[in-house]
């Protein structure tokens, strides 16, 4: 059972233990990030979040398996294979787990296992010691069984890190559920595209708490924007993997160019290679303006739209699945929060679960809504 979820396992009790996705570094241990490229990589660094959890007295249960580098993929059904973190927590092999949920996989899958996933505001949790996928979107979040536990752990790992200049100045956070009532928004255009079961869970929730309808702008182009921006950064974050300094090196080379091309062709899975090629494509001189620059502009429009939305609503509710099973299209459900750096929580409400998104730094609103939902009986 363990082996299904863990990339490497440590000897611990489970009642005070945490698991880490295998892209989070522990000094002296392997950090493979689910990639052949890092198959034997032993990091000399330790992630700040690990230091903080260990200092708080928690124990490391192990490293959970992830899809290669935790990147959003579009050819394989990223949502079909179970997240190692969600699996390990749901099997009781550890109390909580940390993940980088750029792809949305954990937000999608946690509720199906009866778990919560807390995805914090970008800039809340240090990324020092995280193998980066998409630097402008990566953020470590918490898989947990119990929402109070989850926010308690978030309070331990969150806070300014002088080793990560992209963290907010606040030294520490202590989360407490905000009191309602809450103004909830429900995006009609997204709901139209949602699959039935997922839509029902959202509607049930909206019915109980009351929700106002709105149109989520740019929803139709979120897959493109998300994928274009992600691929460019992913391709760039992985250009350091070349078999020279560490990691996988091909056995098949005669000169420098072969060393590069064979190592990188053999070391990455096809979906990763697709993302890399697309990354080069959207950044090339010919295409930069039409694709990459364009996407950065739409990202700004989206962020402005979010500001406008959250002046009307405390939180927005979203389904977890679309009728269209294509992973590329489903990315849009998670891209809104990810692109804008907004906090979101996936909760096991109803038969399918749902996600709630709030304005940046408003985790306490999400916490408050969750407590209310628990009261109402999940």
Instruction: Enumerate residues 204-223 that contact other proteins by CB under 8 A.
Output: 218, 220-221, 223
Interface region with other proteins, contact rule CB under 8 A, candidates 121-129, 182-190, 208-216, 313-321: 121-129
Q: What is the greatest pairwise CA distance in the chain?
A: 68
Among positions 300-339, residues that touch other proteins (CB under 8 A) are: 300-301, 303, 328, 339
Q: Provide φ and ψ at 107, rounded to 5°.
A: -60, -35
Output the smallest distance, CB 347 to other proteins, in A: 24
- Comparison of 182 and 334: residue with beta carbon closer to other proteins: 334
User: Which class for 14: exposed (0-12), middle (13-18), buried (19 or more C-beta within 10 A)?
Assistant: middle
Output the smallest distance, CB 89 to other proteins, in A: 24
Cβ atoms within 10 Å, residue 249: 17
- Comparison of 245 and 375: residue with beta carbon closer to other proteins: 245
Site size toward other proteins (CB under 8 A) is 94
Strand order, beta sheet including 6-9: 6-9, 59-64, 17-21, 96-100, 140-144, 116-119, 344-347, 354-358, 315-318, 184-187, 211-214
* C-alpha distance from residue 90 to each of 113, 144, 150 (Å): 6, 9, 14
Q: Which of 208, 273, 305, 361 binds other proteins (CB under 8 A)?
A: 273
- Comparison of 54 and 296: residue with beta carbon closer to other proteins: 296
Interface region with other proteins, contact rule CB under 8 A, candidates 99-107, 180-188, 206-214, 229-237: 229-237
* C-alpha distance from residue 212 to each of 185, 194, 273, 340, 362 (Å): 5, 17, 42, 21, 19
Interface region with other proteins, contact rule CB under 8 A, candidates 6-14, 205-213, 279-287, 317-325: 279-287
* C-alpha distance from residue 34 to each of 68, 241, 269, 331 (Å): 4, 14, 10, 20
Among positions 34-53, residues that touch other proteins (CB under 8 A) are: 40-45, 47
7: contact with other proteins by CB under 8 A:
no
Per-residue x/- track, 156-195, other proteins (CB under 8 A): -------xxxx-xx--------------------------
Among 7, 8, 4, 17, CA closest to 93: 17
- Comparison of 242 and 314: residue with beta carbon closer to other proteins: 242
Among positions 355-374, residues that touch other proteins (CB under 8 A) are: 360
Q: Do residues 85 and 19 make contact, with C-beta atoms less than 8 angstroms apart?
A: yes
244: contact with other proteins by CB under 8 A:
yes
245: contact with other proteins by CB under 8 A:
yes
Q: Which of 265, 323, 325, 376 binds other proteins (CB under 8 A)?
A: 265
Output the smallest distance, CB 276 to other proteins, in A: 5
Q: Do residues 55 and 97 make contact, with C-beta atoms less than 8 angstroms apart?
A: no
Among positions 74-93, residues that touch other proteins (CB under 8 A) are: 74-75
Q: Provide φ and ψ at 18, rounded to 5°.
A: -125, 150
Output the smallest distance, CB 105 to other proteins, in A: 20
Dist. CA 194–CA 318, nearest whole Å: 9
Q: Which of 236, 305, 374, 378 binds other proteins (CB under 8 A)?
A: 236
User: Which class for 168: exposed (0-12), middle (13-18), buried (19 or more C-beta within 10 A)?
Assistant: middle
Q: Which of 291, 310, 313, 334 binds other proteins (CB under 8 A)?
A: 291
Q: Which of 183, 281, 305, 374 binds other proteins (CB under 8 A)?
A: 281
Dist. CA 167–CA 144, nearest whole Å: 23
Sign of CA dihedral 12, 157, 350, 330: negative
Among positions 128-147, residues that touch other proteins (CB under 8 A) are: 128-132, 135-136
User: DSSP E strands: which ranges in 13-87?
Assistant: 17-21, 59-64
């Amino acid at each position: 059972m363990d082996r299904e979820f863990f990339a490497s396992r440590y000897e611990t009790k489970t009642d005070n233990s945490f698991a880490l996705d295998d892209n989070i570094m522990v000094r002296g241990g392997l950090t493979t990030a689910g990639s052949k490229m890092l198959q034997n990589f032993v990091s000399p660094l330790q992630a700040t979040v690990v230091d903080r959890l260990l200092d708080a007295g928690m124990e490391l249960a192990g490293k959970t398996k992830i899809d290669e580098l935790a990147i959003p993929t579009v050819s394989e059904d990223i949502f079909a294979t179970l997240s190692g973190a969600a699996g390990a927590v749901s099997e009781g092999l550890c109390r909580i787990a940390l993940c980088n949920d750029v792809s949305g996989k954990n937000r999608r899958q946690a509720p199906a296992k009866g778990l919560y996933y807390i995805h914090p505001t970008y800039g809340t949790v240090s990324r020092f010691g995280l193998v980066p996928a998409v630097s402008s979107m990566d953020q470590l979040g918490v898989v947990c069984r119990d929402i109070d536990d989850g926010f308690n752990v978030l309070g331990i790992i969150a806070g300014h890190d002088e080793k990560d200049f992209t963290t907010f100045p606040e030294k520490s956070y202590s989360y407490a559920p905000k009191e309602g009532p809450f103004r909830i928004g429900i995006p009609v255009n997204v709901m139209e595209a949602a699959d039935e079961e997922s839509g029902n869970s959202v509607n049930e929730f909206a019915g109980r708490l009351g929700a106002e309808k709105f149109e989520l702008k740019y929803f139709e182009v979120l897959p493109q924007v998300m994928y274009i921006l992600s691929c460019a950064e992913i391709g760039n974050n992985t250009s350091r993997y070349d078999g020279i300094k560490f990691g996988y090196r091909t056995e098949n080379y005669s000169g420098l160019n072969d060393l590069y091309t064979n190592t990188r062709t053999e070391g990455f899975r096809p979906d990763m290679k697709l993302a890399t090629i697309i990354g080069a494509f959207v950044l090339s001189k010919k295409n930069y303006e039409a694709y990459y620059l364009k996407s950065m502009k739409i990202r700004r429009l989206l962020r402005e739209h979010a500001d406008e939305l959250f002046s009307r609503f405390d939180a927005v509710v979203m389904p977890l699945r679309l009728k269209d099973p294509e992973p590329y299209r489903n990315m849009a459900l998670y891209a809104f929060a990810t692109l804008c750096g907004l906090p979101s929580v996936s909760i096991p409400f109803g038969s399918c679960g749902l996600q709630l998104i709030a304005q940046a730094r408003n985790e306490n609103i999400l916490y408050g809504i969750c407590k209310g939902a628990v009261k109402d009986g999940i």
